[in-house]
Copies of this chain bind each other. A is one copy, B any other.
């Protein structure tokens, strides 16, 4: 029994999501960071790697060279998988290089820059026989998985109505000089959408994951509220699900004063569920017959397997990093050959492809005079 060895591409000094990935990987003590290519700038990559206690020979400047060098190391030393935490446009090439060199991949979302790219990646994953995971961290929250379990078990009856929203305010003004904002609003690095591509896709993934069914068609209205931007910073989408449910998806980054307000409401024939990421340790179950129930994480709900997603007893708040770590643990179990909680969902290349199709369909639908647009992957 040994720790899994992780390499990282991206996530140098000042990066947000790279540090989150490292904390998520470290939390449970069974994954260690052994190498990384943190920046294409040699000095910056070196400084970043040393700050992470890596030996100089495991700090790389070129991700392709990293794949070759790691593959050449003895099995007792070389990394087991690579975490990709670069800006969006680099997700595909790094993933392809890693798979080609025989490494499992855990990639930040979105999977690629387009549906076409995602199909390329899907083929590469299939051909490699390796594992590919996509970090949609919000579905790593225990109560999101609990919501999914209850929907799947039929507790809500047939689903009729879905409202999923993701409101942020940080792009409400000019944010010049903010590194996080810069690449997200730049089509060459972020892709064809900002708000929908960055956060709308999380909302979409959350809804499809909890419902266990797919959006069949949609109608969209994207906006660019801040002058000078090319991409959308706000948008609203009408949804129709294959099972007959209807609903709304909202994503905005100009909702001034909002922090990270991802919220899902699912109404079935018999009962409804409501969950909000900013208070992630409560899940509301509502019906017309009983008082609303506040289901809490850390519940002692028996043999669902989901209790393994929780690290502390009820009343000890767990949050974003723990949810993210659940993604890492499930990925680690998958590549380590260990069993994962049967109920727990982990996003992979199929979900990545769905996400890209969502983004492209929404952008096309918004530009169209026609109301409904199928969300289909050919």
Contact = CB atoms under 8 A, between A and B. Distances in A.
Contacts of A124: none
A3 interface: yes
**Chain A binding surface, main DSSP class:** loop
A119 B315 CA distance: 33
Given A236-B238, A293-B293, A256 B288 contact: yes
Contact of A288 (B223, B225, B257, B269): B257
Contacts of A272: 169, 255-258
Given A161-B225, A292-B293, A260 B20 contact: no
Q: How many copies does the complex hold?
A: 4
A338 B370 CA distance: 52
Interface string A161-182: 1010100111011000000000
Contacts of A268: 256
Contacts of A258: 272, 286, 315
Given A53-B3, A315-B168, A256 B271 contact: yes
A252 to B, nearest CB: 6
A156 to B, nearest CB: 8
Interface residues of A, number: 90
A236 B265 CA distance: 14
Interface in A204-232: 219, 221, 223, 225
Contacts of A315: 168, 258-261, 277-278
A292 B23 CA distance: 29
Contacts of A161: 225, 234, 252, 254-255
A309 B84 CA distance: 26
Given A279-B317, A317-B279, A257 B50 contact: no
A254 B318 contact: no
Contact of A291 (B2, B285, B318): B285
A217 to B, nearest CB: 10
Interface string A279-302: 111000111101111111011000
A26 B26 CA distance: 6
Interface stretch (A27-35, A92-100, A350-358): A27-35
A247 B236 contact: yes
Contacts of A321: 27, 311-312, 316, 318, 321-322
A29 B372 CA distance: 49
Contacts of A372: 369
A149 interface: no
Which of A369, A371, A372 is most buried by chain B, counting CB atoms within 10 A of its CB?
A371
30 contacts: A1-B53, A23-B28, A26-B27, A161-B234, A161-B252, A161-B254, A163-B165, A170-B288, A236-B247, A248-B248, A254-B267, A256-B286, A257-B267, A257-B271, A257-B272, A257-B292, A259-B296, A260-B316, A291-B294, A291-B296, A292-B293, A292-B296, A317-B317, A318-B319, A318-B320, A319-B322, A369-B371, A369-B372, A370-B370, A370-B371
